[in-house]
């Protein structure tokens, strides 16, 4: 087992929700969306993820409900398969192997055994030429069916599923690419092409971006790069077609959708405003503004009550037909760059990083869910290209998570820089951070680093913050009591300003006990006493500026580590103020583990990044992992685990208490795991999910603990060995009772006796007291009854009953239910006989 | 859907005092009443019994004023020379005063002539007070002695001559009828017990003592002299608790607030400072027109009276809450409809439909929300906003520049509108808090309207004024920088060079070089 244990890099959390159009179930209770290799089923009311449909081995590119059976779902993927799922139970029904990379899949109501796929020509993605092909979805039995029969319908189309749409009852298909709209009529087997000129007199940009077909009429809506929406009619005639244009969007129309009846047209784009064109006319339009970020996809539920928009910030907004937001499904927001780096909130152990513009997102990695988003900038966000927005560039938490410091900046021209530092205090009542102090222009130039002093061990430790900036200064900020006549308040003031020969301050870092502050000024590292703010000593490593700086922890607290832009990793001993060792590794990220002496360094010399985990006092690294990802690692962070994990191998012991997460160049969040992929996946797989989801409710935890305690107490009282029993788990009847949906079950009064009997029979070796104890959670009546029965049941076993329990399968079918009822009758007679 | 976020107007910290409970309390006095006396006011004393008249000793007279009277209700003027330190007895019936010729006189409040006259001091008796048993008086005089007198027999009981300079201040203990304290110009404060022949305690103040004060508990003693106010713990044998140096001239008088929570000190520097007796920090301070010689607070701090060297008596009466109540607040008739149903408690069977809270936006926010940038700028250039809250105007300008539409908003204005804009700029462009934004705005305006320059005399004139202001500011900043440079030079000569850091640095480098060489 130990030998098998291997460190592997795994993608974790924050998969993309906005990759393709989401789909609603027929009753609009569920929202299905493709994320990465999976399809997730969300509840539209609670925003909870109900199932994860996994089976694809590559990116899922499209999903569509089966028009013949609205409880089934087709999904297509780049792995060349189309899979049919039962999404309510999360079961894979069938797999159609096509063999080409599938970029989109369409399925029409009329033809039940065929679908349409967009595949690359010659099966090469690089060719940049795609085809729309008809694929036969044979009804052949078997889980996996090979379908190689493809017939070409349209050549040279856009790969995006948004650029192809099927018209009224599947009579025609419209596809746009570049400046051409092409309509293929299935009956006539003819293609009409409608070109537009590239530039009009007014300088409009006529390139097509998306297309949608009216569900009832012969009308095609197309979106354009310049924000126009064109409505094409009468296109059955090659020459006499007409089109009308509607213009509201100021930049490209990203997606279009008709409502089910075709009365309204929905459009969205960069402005992040959902526009509803009533009766598809220019005069009657309604807006839903400030949806957060660019709308990428719009989809409408089959019953017409809901629609949803997918946004670039990895979000799906579910909107009611009266244009009111009803729910938001938010994933990990991935911006273009994570300027704050990865930070851990000590309170929630959540990963904190830049969220949507001007926000800080708190992302829970365990549940892969955004906990909340903190509005830092607190300004109206204008979605417009070319505007320089206020960016959140730095964030830091105090050791206890009571304080959060953020720095935001906006630079329009070289000369005018707007800087703001905000200090947030955690409000227990609101359970959120509250703005405490705002510092305008804390420095004259960009802030390069900020860190809090760890005041855990120190008596009456005043919260202290240090900021370092390019203006060559580092400033120490401390809290002061600003209590006023009517309210208690704490503010921050600058306590000390330090500089070193006017060099730029690049990094700052407090030692573990908070007694020393290390600030790096270009090539020189200075160490300051944090009590008196005296310069204690300076270190200099000739080649290169210091990139990052950190103190060793616990037994290695006498070491100070730094990396330089020449790739040197230096370790200074603070006791004798000398360089302990240095090595040229090309280290780009240096991250200490808060719970141990371990320090992770990521180096990037050639193509990929390598990970080194070491202790400053040991000559040999604990672990070396080559090529953890392509390109440079942006930032990394250790997140303490809630429960220490048992890691078999000595080599990977550093992973047991905290987990290392890192962000790659492509903004993907990765982590290290020693578990094999199967083991890692099991908890999330469907079967276990339903089983485990039940006991893990807070109620269960409470009750379970309570019961355990009681049982222990009871055992102690009776002075007999503890009989380890899991009655609820072992008894199939109870399991059934708990797992069968309530509406299927017969009434509780009927089930009561069976339930009690099941307990008694399965626990015949147990004493009465224990049994009674277990039944306690049931109704009073049940308890009374059981008290009467207890003495006799042990010997009076109904053979029929045991037989029944034996053949009980996890699923409660109709026939079994009937049997259950039958037995219930016998049961009653049996009770009355007593 | 996120709601519209209104423009954030940056609050700038207000300069000056912070508003605390104390400032509110001590500011709650009406405008002072000035009463002109004949000479410097050396003592003010409130009658301990209602209606709390007060005796003012100035020159050769003692005036008794009623609480709100501007004219004296009674005058004792039978002094040949200056009178000193008119003090009421605890029952408010007798008044004692010292005099320049050395006699101590006792008056009945209702009478005119002195009831008793105690002669014994050879020089001016500056301080007199009743002991708390009501039948004895102590006095201190410039002949370095302090004496105790018996009122019934009008005879001297005991004389202490331990001081080596004028005895100018003193007070008696309210708890012990035998204890009294004297302060002298020989820099000492002495505590006497009438039952003994010698002083019980001597405290070295360090400066000629101008005033002493015992706390009601009798445990703490406050002495004032020179620029210092010192608090001593008598029970610890005269241990110095705290030394306060908040005045920049001699402190002349001390006084406790009625609650005993605050200590007031008046000084020749024309200030009255109020200290908290727990933290000994100055919590408030009053300014007066002339040097202060005497200070008194009425019971319940109802009145604060200050006597000054120029003979002016400054009387401040406390404002009363009922005054505020009297002014009926006009309520808009719409108010009731506004809060209609707010206080309604839903019954159990009621179905509760929550209405979204409508947040009211300001006019400029409404316009900004609908992207009407020019109108939004117009809205904040209206008089009340432009004049009283320029920070809002600047915040909107900044928001516009953030949206990249400031130029659009500034363009296309006629002479009058441009005039308003330029006046605003001239007024505020040099203010440090607005400068970064307004300089930007000024540049844009110049860019936009450069082509039409010279068409309107009014606008041209305003441009010239703006230029003037900016040039003046540049000169000013230059001067400031010069001063800063001079100061830096001075500081540089003052601080000694630190060698340690340099040494370490070279050390580090050499070590590193060694390491590199060895590896």
pLDDT band at B505 (very low <50, low <70, confident <90, very high): very low
pLDDT winner (highest mean) among A586-595, B304-313, B344-353: B304-313
User: Which among A317, A380, A538 has CB closest to B508?
Assistant: A538
Q: Which of B261, B292, B317 is the last residue of a domain?
A: B317
Domain count, chain B: 2
The reply to whether B458 falls in a domain is: yes
The reply to whether B358 falls in a domain is: no
Q: Which two tokens stand for residue B169?
A: 């201040």
pLDDT computed for residue A203 by the predictor: 65
Asked if pLDDT for residue A685 goes beyond 50, the answer is no
Distance from CA of B427 to the nearest CA of A (A): 22
Say whether both B293 and B388 belong to one domain. no
User: Which among B3, B403, B512 has CB closest to A579?
Assistant: B512
Tell me the C-alpha distance between A347 and A426, whole Å: 10
pLDDT band at B56 (very low <50, low <70, confident <90, very high): very high
pLDDT band at A28 (very low <50, low <70, confident <90, very high): confident
B515 touches chain A (CB under 8 A): yes
3-class DSSP state of A823? helix
Location of structure tokens 């040229």: A584
The reply to whether B9 falls in a domain is: no
Q: Which of B253, B287, B317 is the last residue of a domain?
A: B317
Say whether both B45 and B125 belong to one domain. yes
**A539 vs B contacts (CB less than 8 Å):** 508, 512
Classify residue A316 as exposed, middle or buried by CB count within 10 Å of its CB (0-12, 13-18, 19+): buried
Answer for the pair A348, A362: CB distance below 8 angstroms, yes or no. Answer: yes
3-class DSSP state of B462? helix
Say whether both B60 and B121 belong to one domain. yes
pLDDT band at B51 (very low <50, low <70, confident <90, very high): confident
The reply to whether B484 falls in a domain is: no
B28 touches chain A (CB under 8 A): no
HEC profile of B307-333:
EECCCEEEEEEECCHHHHHHCCCCCCC
A379:B18 CB<8 A: no
Torsion of CA B358, B363, B367, B368, to 10 degrees: -80
Say whether both B245 and B308 belong to one domain. yes
Say whether both B300 and B384 belong to one domain. no
B505:A380 CB<8 A: no
User: For residue A815, what are the CA distances in angstroms to A196, A606, A749, A754, B415?
Assistant: 64, 66, 21, 17, 91
The reply to whether B222 falls in a domain is: yes
CATH of the domain at B134: 2.130.10.10
Answer for the pair A394, A340: CB distance below 8 angstroms, yes or no. Answer: yes
Asked if pLDDT for residue A780 goes beyond 50, the answer is no
Which one has a higher pLDDT value, B12 or B24? Answer: B24
| Among B396, B402, B472, residue whose Cα is nearest residue B430 | B472
pLDDT band at A200 (very low <50, low <70, confident <90, very high): low
Say whether both B382 and B276 belong to one domain. no
Tell me the C-alpha distance between A584 and A569, whole Å: 6
Q: Which of A644-658, A730-744, B81-95, B105-119 has the lowest mean pLDDT?
A: A730-744
- Residue B164 is classified by DSSP as S
Closest chain A residue by Cα to residue B2: A290
Distance from CA of A422 to the nearest CA of B (A): 13
Q: With pLDDT > 90 as the criterion, what percentage of chain B qualifies?
A: 42
B24:A291 CB<8 A: no
Closest chain B residue by Cα to residue A539: B508
Which one has a higher pLDDT value, A378 or A649? Answer: A378
Domains of chain A plus CATH, in order, are 8-161 (2.130.10.10), 173-331 (2.130.10.10)
B504:A538 CB<8 A: yes
The stretch A523-537 carries a mean pLDDT of 87
The reply to whether B352 falls in a domain is: no
Answer for the pair A307, A321: CB distance below 8 angstroms, yes or no. Answer: yes
Say whether both B71 and B203 belong to one domain. yes
First to last CA, chain B: 62
Closest chain A residue by Cα to residue B509: A540
Q: Which two tokens stand for residue B22?
A: 């104390």
Asked if pLDDT for residue A485 goes beyond 50, the answer is yes
Say whether both B172 and B99 belong to one domain. yes
Answer for the pair B119, B84: CB distance below 8 angstroms, yes or no. Answer: no
B335-366: pLDDT as tens digits: 666 677 777 777 778 877 777 777 788 899 99
| Among B106, B108, B114, B193, residue whose Cα is nearest residue B146 | B193
B10 touches chain A (CB under 8 A): yes
Asked if pLDDT for residue A680 goes beyond 50, the answer is no
The stretch A591-616 carries a mean pLDDT of 84
pLDDT band at B288 (very low <50, low <70, confident <90, very high): very high
Say whether both B313 and B370 belong to one domain. no
- What's the helix, strand, coil split of chain B in %, to 5? 30, 30, 40
Asked if pLDDT for residue A797 goes beyond 50, the answer is no
B4 touches chain A (CB under 8 A): yes
pLDDT winner (highest mean) among A392-406, A645-659, A690-704: A392-406
B501:A382 CB<8 A: no
The continuous run of DSSP H or E covering A190 comes out as strand A190-195
Query: Following DSSP, what letter does each residue of A413-449 receive, concatenated?
Result: SSS-EEEEEEEEEEETTTTEEEEEEEEE-SSSS-EEE
Q: Which of B281, B296, B317 is the last residue of a domain?
A: B317
User: Which among B2, B21, B511 has CB closest to A290?
Assistant: B2
Q: Which residues of B182-192 are buried (b: 16+ CB within 10 A; e: fewer)?
A: bbbbbbbbbbb
User: What is the DSSP pairing of strand A81-86 with strand A253-258?
Assistant: unpaired
The CB density around residue A789, as the number of other CB atoms within 10 Å, is 18
What sign does the CA torsion over B347, B350, B351, B352 have?
negative
Q: Where are the beta strands (DSSP E) in A234-358?
A: 242-247, 253-258, 264-269, 274-278, 285-288, 295-300, 306-311, 315-320, 325-330, 343-344, 351-354
pLDDT computed for residue A694 by the predictor: 46
CB pairs under 8 A between A and B: 84
Q: Name the region of B59 (left: φ>0; alpha: ψ -120 to 50; beta: rest).
A: left
User: Which among A416, A524, A577 has CB closest to B436?
Assistant: A416
pLDDT computed for residue B307 by the predictor: 92
Which one has a higher pLDDT value, A683 or A124? Answer: A124
Q: Which residue, among A315, A322, A359, A485, would best test binding to B if mutated, counting the most B CBs under 10 Å from its CB? A: A485
Say whether both B407 and B280 belong to one domain. no
A427 touches chain B (CB under 8 A): no
B405 touches chain A (CB under 8 A): no
B2 touches chain A (CB under 8 A): yes
Question: Which residues, including other chains, have CB under 8 Å from residue B50's CB and lie 6 or more apart?
Answer: none
Asked if pLDDT for residue A75 goes beyond 50, the answer is yes
- Residue A637 is classified by DSSP as E
The reply to whether B301 falls in a domain is: yes
Question: Which residues, including other chains, have CB under 8 Å from residue A399's CB and lie 6 or more apart?
Answer: A346, A452, A454, A455, A456
Distance from CA of B76 to the nearest CA of A (A): 46
Tell me the C-alpha distance between A611 and A604, whole Å: 9
pLDDT band at A792 (very low <50, low <70, confident <90, very high): very low
Q: Which of A325-339, B137-151, B425-439, B456-470 has the lowest mean pLDDT?
A: A325-339
Q: Which of A484-493, B102-111, B247-256, B275-284 has the lowest mean pLDDT?
A: A484-493
Q: Which two tokens stand for residue A644?
A: 């220490």
Question: Which residues, including other chains, have CB under 8 Å from residue A563's CB and lie 6 or more apart?
Answer: A546, A547, A548, A549, A569, A570, A587, A588, A590, A601
The stretch A652-666 carries a mean pLDDT of 82
User: Which among B3, B403, B498 has CB closest to A382?
Assistant: B403
User: What is the DSSP pairing of strand A391-397 with strand B167-172?
Assistant: unpaired
A83-104: pLDDT as tens digits: 889 888 888 888 888 888 888 8
A297 touches chain B (CB under 8 A): no
User: What is the DSSP pairing of strand A447-452 with strand A130-136?
Assistant: unpaired
**A410 vs B contacts (CB less than 8 Å):** 402
First to last CA, chain A: 55
Say whether both B108 and B255 belong to one domain. yes
At CA A337, angle to CA A335 and CA A341, rounded to 5?
110
pTM of the entire predicted model: 0.68
A542:B513 CB<8 A: yes
Answer for the pair A695, A689: CB distance below 8 angstroms, yes or no. Answer: no
pLDDT band at B480 (very low <50, low <70, confident <90, very high): very high
Q: Which two tokens stand for residue B483?
A: 């001063």
Which one has a higher pLDDT value, B95 or A144? Answer: B95
Answer for the pair B82, B99: CB distance below 8 angstroms, yes or no. Answer: yes
A542:B401 CB<8 A: no
Q: Where are the beta strands (DSSP E) in A323-385?
A: 325-330, 343-344, 351-354, 359-364, 369-375
Asked if pLDDT for residue A484 goes beyond 50, the answer is yes
B456 touches chain A (CB under 8 A): no
Cis check: omega of the bond before B51, within 30 degrees of 0: yes
A537 touches chain B (CB under 8 A): yes
Say whether both B68 and B200 belong to one domain. yes
Asked if pLDDT for residue A690 goes beyond 50, the answer is no
Which one has a higher pLDDT value, A137 or B117? Answer: B117
3-class DSSP state of B379? helix
Q: Which of A194-203, A571-580, B34-43 has the lowest mean pLDDT?
A: A194-203
B204-229: pLDDT as tens digits: 999 999 999 999 888 899 999 999 99
Q: Tell me the pLDDT of chain A averaged across its residues.
A: 79
HEC profile of A516-569:
EEEEEECCEEEEEECCCCCEEEEEECCCCCEEEEEECCHHHCCEEEEEECCCEE
pLDDT computed for residue B348 by the predictor: 79
B3-14: pLDDT as tens digits: 788 888 877 776
Q: With pLDDT > 70 as the criterion, what percentage of chain A qualifies?
A: 79
User: Which among B6, B500, B512 has CB closest to A541?
Assistant: B512
A576 touches chain B (CB under 8 A): no
3-class DSSP state of A63? strand
B397-433: pLDDT as tens digits: 989 988 888 889 998 888 899 999 999 999 999 888 8
Asked if pLDDT for residue A830 goes beyond 70, the answer is no
**B503 vs A contacts (CB less than 8 Å):** none
pLDDT band at B329 (very low <50, low <70, confident <90, very high): low
B501:A535 CB<8 A: yes
B19 touches chain A (CB under 8 A): yes
Torsion angles phi and psi, residue A72, rounded to 5:
-115, 155
Beta partners for A269?
A253
What range defines the domain where residue B260 resides? 21-317
B403:A578 CB<8 A: no
The stretch B79-84 carries a mean pLDDT of 89
A325:B513 CB<8 A: no
The reply to whether B347 falls in a domain is: no
Distance from CA of B293 to the nearest CA of A (A): 32
A538:B505 CB<8 A: yes
The stretch A169-178 carries a mean pLDDT of 87
B7 touches chain A (CB under 8 A): yes
pLDDT band at A798 (very low <50, low <70, confident <90, very high): very low
| Among A112, A119, A116, residue whose Cα is nearest residue A66 | A112
ipTM of the complex: 0.71
Give me the residues of A, 538-557, that contact B with CB < 8 A.
538-542
Q: Alpha helix locations (H) across B134-293?
A: none
pLDDT computed for residue A354 by the predictor: 85
Q: Name the region of B92 (left: φ>0; alpha: ψ -120 to 50; beta: rest).
A: left
pLDDT computed for residue B422 by the predictor: 92
Beta partners for B284?
B274
Q: Which two tokens stand for residue B318?
A: 């406390």
Q: Tell me the pLDDT of chain B averaged across its residues.
A: 86
């Amino acid at each position: 087992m130990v030998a098998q244990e291997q460190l592997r890099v795994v993608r974790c959390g924050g998969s993309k929700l906005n990759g393709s159009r989401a789909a609603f179930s027929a009753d609009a209770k569920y929202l299905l969306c493709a994320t990465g290799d999976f399809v997730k089923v969300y509840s539209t009311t609670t925003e909870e993820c109900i199932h994860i449909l996994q089976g694809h081995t590559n990116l899922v590119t499209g999903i569509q409900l089966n028009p013949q059976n609205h409880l089934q779902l087709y999904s297509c993927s780049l792995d060349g398969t189309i899979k049919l799922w039962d999404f309510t139970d999360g079961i894979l029904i069938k797999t159609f192997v096509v063999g080409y990379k599938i970029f989109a899949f369409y399925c029409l109501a009329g033809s039940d055994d065929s679908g349409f796929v967009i595949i690359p020509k010659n099966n090469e993605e690089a060719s940049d030429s795609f085809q729309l092909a008809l694929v036969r979805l044979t009804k052949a039995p078997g889980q996996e069916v090979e379908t190689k029969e493809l017939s070409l319908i349209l050549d040279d189309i856009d790969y995006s599923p948004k650029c192809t749409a099927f018209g009224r009852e599947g009579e025609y298909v419209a596809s746009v690419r570049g400046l051409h709209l092409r309509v293929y009529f299935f009956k006539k087997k003819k293609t009409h092409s409608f070109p537009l000129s590239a530039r009009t007199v007014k300088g409009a940009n006529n390139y097509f971006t998306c297309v949608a077909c009216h569900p009832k009429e012969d009308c095609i809506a197309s979106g354009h790069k310049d924000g126009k929406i064109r409505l094409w009619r009468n296109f059955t005639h090659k020459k006499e077609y007409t089109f009308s244009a509607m213009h509201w969007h100021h930049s490209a129309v990203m997606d279009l959708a008709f409502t089910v009846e075709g009365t309204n047209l929905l459009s969205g784009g960069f402005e992040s405003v959902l526009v509803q064109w009533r009766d598809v006319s220019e005069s009657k339009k309604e807006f839903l503004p400030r949806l957060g970020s660019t709308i990428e996809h719009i989809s409408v539920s089959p019953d017409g009550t809901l629609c949803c928009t997918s946004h670039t910030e990895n979000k799906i907004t579910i909107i009611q037909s009266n244009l009111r937001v009803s729910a938001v499904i938010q994933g990990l927001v991935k911006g273009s760059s994570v300027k704050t780096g990865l930070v851990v909130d000590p309170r929630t152990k959540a990963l904190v990083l830049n969220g949507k513009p001007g926000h800080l997102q708190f992302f829970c990695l365990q549940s892969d869910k955004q906990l909340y988003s903190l509005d830092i900038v607190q300004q109206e966000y204008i979605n417009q290209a070319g505007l320089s927005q206020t960016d959140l560039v730095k964030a830091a938490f105090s050791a206890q998570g009571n304080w959060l410091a953020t720095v935001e900046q906006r630079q329009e021209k070289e000369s005018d820089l707007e800087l703001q530092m905000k200090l947030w205090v955690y409000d227990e009542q609101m359970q959120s951070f509250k703005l405490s102090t705002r510092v305008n222009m804390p420095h004259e130039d960009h802030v390069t680093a900020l860190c809090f002093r760890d005041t855990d061990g120190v008596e009456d430790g005043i919260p202290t913050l240090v900021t370092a900036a390019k203006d060559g200064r580092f400033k120490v900020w401390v809290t002061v009591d600003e209590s006023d006549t009517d309210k208690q308040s704490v503010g921050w003031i600058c306590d000390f300003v330090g500089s070193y020969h006017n060099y730029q301050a690049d990094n700052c870092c407090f030692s573990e006990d908070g007694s020393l502050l290390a600030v790096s000024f270009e090539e020189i590292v200075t160490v300051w006493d944090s009590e008196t703010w005296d310069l204690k000593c300076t270190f200099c490593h000739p080649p290169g500026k210091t990139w990052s700086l950190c103190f060793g922890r616990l037994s290695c607290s006498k070491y100070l580590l730094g990396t330089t832009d020449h790739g040197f990793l230096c370790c200074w001993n603070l006791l004798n103020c000398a360089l302990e060792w240095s090595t040229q590794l090309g280290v780009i990220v240096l991250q200490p583990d808060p719970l141990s002496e371990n320090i992770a360094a990521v180096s990037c010399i050639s193509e990929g990044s390598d990970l080194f985990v070491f202790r400053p006092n040991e000559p040999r690294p604990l672990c070396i992992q080559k090529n953890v990802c392509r390109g440079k690692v942006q930032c990394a962070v250790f997140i303490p685990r809630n429960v220490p994990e048992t890691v078999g191998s000595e080599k990977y012991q550093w992973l047991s208490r905290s987990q290392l997460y890192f962000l790659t160049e492509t903004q993907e969040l990765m982590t290290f795991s020693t578990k094999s992929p199967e083991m890692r996946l099991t908890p999330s797989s469907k079967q276990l999910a339903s089983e485990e989801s039940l006991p893990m409710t807070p109620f269960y935890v409470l009750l379970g603990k309570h019961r355990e305690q009681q049982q222990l107490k009871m055992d102690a009282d009776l002075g007999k060995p503890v009989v380890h029993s899991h009655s609820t788990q072992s008894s199939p009847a109870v399991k059934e009772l708990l797992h069968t949906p309530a509406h299927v079950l017969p009434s509780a009064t009927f089930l009561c006796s069976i339930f009690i009997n099941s307990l008694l029979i399965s626990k015949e070796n147990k004493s009465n007291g224990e049994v009674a104890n277990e039944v306690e959670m049931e109704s009073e009546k049940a308890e009374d009854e059981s008290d009467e029965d207890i003495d006799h049941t042990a010997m009076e076993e109904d053979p029929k009953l045991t037989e029944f329990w034996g053949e009980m399968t996890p699923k409660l079918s109709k026939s079994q239910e009937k049997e259950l009822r039958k037995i219930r009758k016998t049961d009653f007679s049996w009770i009355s006989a007593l | 859907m996120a709601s519209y976020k209104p423009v954030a107007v940056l609050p700038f910290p207000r300069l000056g005092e912070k508003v605390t409970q104390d400032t509110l309390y001590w500011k709650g006095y009406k405008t002072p009443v000035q009463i002109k006396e004949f000479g410097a006011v050396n003592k003010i004393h409130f009658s301990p019994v209602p209606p709390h008249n007060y005796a003012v000793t100035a020159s050769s007279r003692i005036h008794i004023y009623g609480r709100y009277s501007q004219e004296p209700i009674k005058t004792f003027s039978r002094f040949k020379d200056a009178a000193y330190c008119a003090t009421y007895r605890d029952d408010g019936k007798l008044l004692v005063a010292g005099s320049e010729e050395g006699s101590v006189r006792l008056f009945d409040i209702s009478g005119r002539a002195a009831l008793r006259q105690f002669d014994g001091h050879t020089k001016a008796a500056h301080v007199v007070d009743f002991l708390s048993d009501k039948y004895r008086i102590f006095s201190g005089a410039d002949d370095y002695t302090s004496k105790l007198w018996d009122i019934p027999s009008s005879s001297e009981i005991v004389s202490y001559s331990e001081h080596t300079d004028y005895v100018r201040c003193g007070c008696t203990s309210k708890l012990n009828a035998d204890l009294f304290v004297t302060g002298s110009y020989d820099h000492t404060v002495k505590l006497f017990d009438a039952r003994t022949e010698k002083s019980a305690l001597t405290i070295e103040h360090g400066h000629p003592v101008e005033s002493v004060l015992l706390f009601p508990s009798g445990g703490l003693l406050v002495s004032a002299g020179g620029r210092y106010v010192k608090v001593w713990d008598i029970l610890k044998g005269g241990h110095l608790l705290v030394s306060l140096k908040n005045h920049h001239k001699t402190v002349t008088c001390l006084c406790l607030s009625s609650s005993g929570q605050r200590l007031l000190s008046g000084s020749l520097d024309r200030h009255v400072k109020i200290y908290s007796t727990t933290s000994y920090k100055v919590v408030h301070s009053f300014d007066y027109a002339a040097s202060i010689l005497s200070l008194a607070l009425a019971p319940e701090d109802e009145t604060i009276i200050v006597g000054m060297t120029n003979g002016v008596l400054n009387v401040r009466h406390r404002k009363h809450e009922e005054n505020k109540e009297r002014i009926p607040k006009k309520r808009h008739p719409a108010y009731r409809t506004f809060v209609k149903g707010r206080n309604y408690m839903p019954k159990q069977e009621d179905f509760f439909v929550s209405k979204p809270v409508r947040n009211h936006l300001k006019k400029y926010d409404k316009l900004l929300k609908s992207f009407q940038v020019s109108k939004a700028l117009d809205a904040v250039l209206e008089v009340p906003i432009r004049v009283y809250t320029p920070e809002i105007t600047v915040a909107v300008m900044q928001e516009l520049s953030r949206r990249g539409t400031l130029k659009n908003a500034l363009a296309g204005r006629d002479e009058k509108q441009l005039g308003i804009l330029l006046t605003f700029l001239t007024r505020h462009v040099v203010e440090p808090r607005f400068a970064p934004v307004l300089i930007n705005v000024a540049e844009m305006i110049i860019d936009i309207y450069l082509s039409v320059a010279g068409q309107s005399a009014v606008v041209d004139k305003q441009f010239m004024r703006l230029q003037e202001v900016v040039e003046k500011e540049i000169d000013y900043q230059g001067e400031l920088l010069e001063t800063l440079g001079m100061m830096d030079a001075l500081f540089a000569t003052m601080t000694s060079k630190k060698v340690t850091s340099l040494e370490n640095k070279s050390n580090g480098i050499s070590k590193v070089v060694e390491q590199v060489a060895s590896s």
